[in-house]
Amino acid sequence: MSDEGPDRMTGDEPLTEEPIRVMVVDDHPVWRDGIRNDLESSGVAAVVAEASDGGEAIERARESMPEVILMDLQLPTVPGVEAIRAIVEESPHVKVVVLSASGEEADVLEAVKVGATGYLLKGSTAGEIVNAVRRVRDGEPVFTPSLAGMVLSEFRRVAAPDPGVPGLTPRENEVLKLVAKGYTYREIAGKLFISVKTVQNHVQNILTKLQLRKRYELMRFAIQRGLDKAPE
Amino acid sequence: MGILAYRWAAFVWMVLLAIGAAGEFRRPAVAWLVLGATGLWTLWLSVTPGWDRPLTRWLDLGVCIGLLLISGIVMREGYTVGEHPFFATAYPVCAALTWGAARGVGPGLAAGLALSVALTLSRPINGVSPADATGAEIWGVGNGVVYYIAAGGAMGLISRALGRASRELRRAQDEVLRERERVARLSEHATMGRQIHDSVLQALAWVNKRGHELGAEASVPGPEVLRLADMAAEQERALRALIQREPEEPPKERASLRVALDADARAVGEVPVTVTALGPIWLPEHEIDEVTAAVRQALENVVRHARATRAVVFAEEGEQGLVVTVRDDGVGFVYEEDGLRSRGKFGLLQSMKGRIEDLGGRMIVRSAPGAGTEVEFLIPEHGLRADRAVDEGRL
């Protein structure tokens, strides 16, 4: 039994592959060093940049073009959520994984809404972190059970404000609930008689819907305030 | 109360007018009898606690209409016309005022209208035929009509405004009370925060000091380093618990299942346990006690038998009722009650099952060798039915 991550479904990649370009954003040097060590000793990833605050993160992301960013949310100057928003807007192909110490629900959910595709607690093992980096690079959202729970609560808490805003399909709801219960994508695939790829697609769609809702919320807010009108 | 004062003033005025017009009575006995009855009625209204009952209001309207009609009978023919004050005009308006105050604008106006009709009728009763009415007579009746209707309507408006103001005052008072409770809670939270921050700082200082000392030694003793790590882990858990405490207001006599489950999860040292509860899930205390006791037993099973790397406790309140699952990624087993019982391995499971069945629910175990275990507690009729209806409005 491997102890790698909540989802142990990705087999070992051939080591001949180029290491994944990673940027680590954290205001504590100890954490940056530790994560760099975890990633580089695995041979899977190379840390191409580090940043200690949100503003620096936005700049460094532009310069060093990482594939994956591991990011704390409690950051000086620009808060983590704002930095993620800016980075994802500028380079939508960059995958952001939130690495949070507090697990403060509201922050993590905001981060996912503005474009983060993964969430890990800082207590995660080296194996979990490496695995998460590999999976998000491959376009797979890294949902821990707790993030799945938060997203599920969010969809329940705010009933669709408008028919145009997508809610979860029964199947997506089922998949998300199983993730929240601690099942891996592979186990879910087995339980529901679908392929692992289909499970991943469901999770990706759920994330997209969450982000759509956020955008819709902002738009509605703008319309209410009359911000959609061009300045005269 | 203001109306009552006016009522007495109107009654006194009516008595004075009657004394002044004593020579003009067609039927003095009826006049004094009616005056006496009105006095008694006013006195009764002053002492009874039921002065604002619907029946009292209807009776009052009847008395006032009666006064108007009867005054047409008791006065000398034609006396009520012209500039002479009519001895019952001031008192009847009390009925319009009462209706307006108690029921609002519409009923106030309606009572005023009823009085106006009676006032108009009192003229023919007094012997003045409508055909003979002079401009001044019509003017006098018109004045009375406007006076009654306006009084009822105006009182309705005032009472509506007063009602709104008093509701707003009550709401503001509630708000203040809630705010005060919130501040108290926050300050309790802040006190806890200070204590935990202090112990975290102590631990950090110690980790710092010992870490440097150990780093300087030739060989690092493993147990010593582990002790430092444990110390840090303990403080991390305390801080996390502080951060994740429910920020919301618990409903009366309810507590959060999520908070209770979080505490249970943190108490398990051997296997990392995650709690994913959808919302705070407010339940009565005794249900929380039973459910968490069952969850603790399930986690105990995980620690003892599952050889799992992690466990997840999931809780949700949905259409089915309350669902709580404990899932591990361990070795799994064949769940077969009779077999387990005969081998004496059903004790803990039996106890969990009993607890949940006592709450009117059932326990479902899903497991297979190598596939981990999921224990599900399903409680359809949990004690949150009323609140759940509210919740479902939101879902």
Q: How confident is the model at residue B81 (pLDDT cuts 50, 70, 90)?
A: very low
pLDDT of residue B391: 47
- Residues ≥6 apart with Cβ < 8 Å to B60: B41, B45, B94, B95, B98
For range B231-250, the mean pLDDT: 72
The share of chain B scoring above pLDDT 90, in percent, equals 15
> Quick check: A13 pLDDT over 80?
no
B243–A102 C-beta distance less than 8 A: yes
User: Which of B240, B246, B276, B365 would best serve as a mutation to test chain A binding (most A beta carbons within 10 A)?
Assistant: B276
Edge-to-edge strand list for the sheet holding B311-318:
B273-277, B311-318, B321-328, B373-379, B362-367
SS3 for B277?
strand
* B95-104 per-position pLDDT tens digit: 888 888 888 8
> Quick check: B388 pLDDT over 50?
no
pLDDT of residue A6: 45
For range B221-233, the mean pLDDT: 83
B312–A3 C-beta distance less than 8 A: no
Which residues does chain B have within 8 Å of residue A103's beta carbon, measured at their own beta carbons? 240, 243-244
B372–A149 C-beta distance less than 8 A: no
Q: How far is B277 from chain A (nearest CA, A)?
A: 7
Is B85:B21 a contact under the CB 8 Å cutoff? no
Nearest to B325 among A148, A152, A181 (CB): A181
Beta-carbon contacts below 8 Å between A and B: 64
Q: How far is B383 from chain A (nearest CA, A)?
A: 21
> Quick check: A9 pLDDT over 50?
no
User: Per 3-state DSSP, what percentage of chain B is helix, strand, and coil (rounded to 5)?
Assistant: 65, 10, 25
Nearest to B310 among A153, A157, A182 (CB): A182
pLDDT of residue A36: 92
User: Which of A2, A128, A177, A179 would best serve as a mutation to test chain B binding (most B beta carbons within 10 A)?
Assistant: A177
Q: How confident is the model at residue B383 (pLDDT cuts 50, 70, 90)?
A: low
For range A101-109, the mean pLDDT: 72
Angstrom distance (rounded) from CA B98 to CA B151: 10
For range B41-46, the mean pLDDT: 88
Which residues does chain A have within 8 Å of residue B395's beta carbon, measured at their own beta carbons? 156, 159
Q: How far is A28 from chain B (nearest CA, A)?
A: 14
Which residues does chain B have within 8 Å of residue A182's beta carbon, measured at their own beta carbons? 274, 310-312, 314, 327-329
> Quick check: B142 pLDDT over 50?
yes
Question: What token pair was written down for B78?
Answer: 């034609």
The mean pLDDT value of chain B amounts to: 82
* B270-304 per-position pLDDT tens digit: 888 989 988 888 899 889 999 999 999 999 999 98
| Numbered residues of chain B with Cβ closer than 8 Å to any chain A Cβ | 236, 240, 243-244, 272, 274-279, 307, 309-312, 314, 316, 325, 327-329, 371-372, 374, 394-395
- Residues ≥6 apart with Cβ < 8 Å to B263: B241
Query: Does the beta carbon of A187 lie under 8 angstroms from any beta carbon of chain B?
Result: yes
Comparing B56-70, B121-135, B223-237, B305-319, which segment has the lowest mean pLDDT? B121-135
pLDDT of residue B389: 45
Is A179:A206 a contact under the CB 8 Å cutoff? no
Among chain B residues, the shortest Cα distance to A190 is held by B371
The share of chain B scoring above pLDDT 70, in percent, equals 90
Query: Does the beta carbon of A6 lie under 8 angstroms from any beta carbon of chain B?
Result: yes
* B339-351 per-position pLDDT tens digit: 888 887 777 888 8
> Quick check: A158 pLDDT over 60?
yes
Pairing of strands B362-367, B373-379: antiparallel
Is B161:B105 a contact under the CB 8 Å cutoff? no
Which DSSP category does B82 fall into?
A: T
Comparing A180-189, B35-44, B67-76, which segment has the lowest mean pLDDT? B67-76
Is B331:B370 a contact under the CB 8 Å cutoff? yes
Q: How confident is the model at residue B85 (pLDDT cuts 50, 70, 90)?
A: low
For range A131-141, the mean pLDDT: 90
The maximal CA–CA distance of chain A, rounded, in angstroms, is: 65
> Quick check: A10 pLDDT over 70?
no
pLDDT of residue B54: 83
Among chain A residues, the shortest Cα distance to B273 is held by A182
B276–A149 C-beta distance less than 8 A: yes
A103–B276 C-beta distance less than 8 A: no
Q: How many CB atoms are closer than 10 A to CB B32?
A: 15
Question: What token pair was written down for B387?
Answer: 């609140």
E strands of A35-139, at which residues?
A: 45-51, 68-71, 95-100, 118-121
pLDDT of residue B235: 81
pLDDT of residue A173: 92
> Quick check: B312 pLDDT over 60?
yes
> Quick check: A147 pLDDT over 60?
yes
Nearest to A180 among B314, B329, B394 (CB): B314
- What's the residue count for chain A? 232
For range A141-158, the mean pLDDT: 84
Which DSSP category does B304 fall into?
A: I
B371–A182 C-beta distance less than 8 A: no
> Quick check: B267 pLDDT over 50?
yes
* A198-211 per-position pLDDT tens digit: 999 999 899 888 88
For range B15-26, the mean pLDDT: 81
Q: Which long-range contacts (CB under 8 A, 24 or more apart) does A31-34 make?
A: A31/A72, A31/A122
Which residues does chain B have within 8 Å of residue A153's beta carbon, measured at their own beta carbons? 278-279
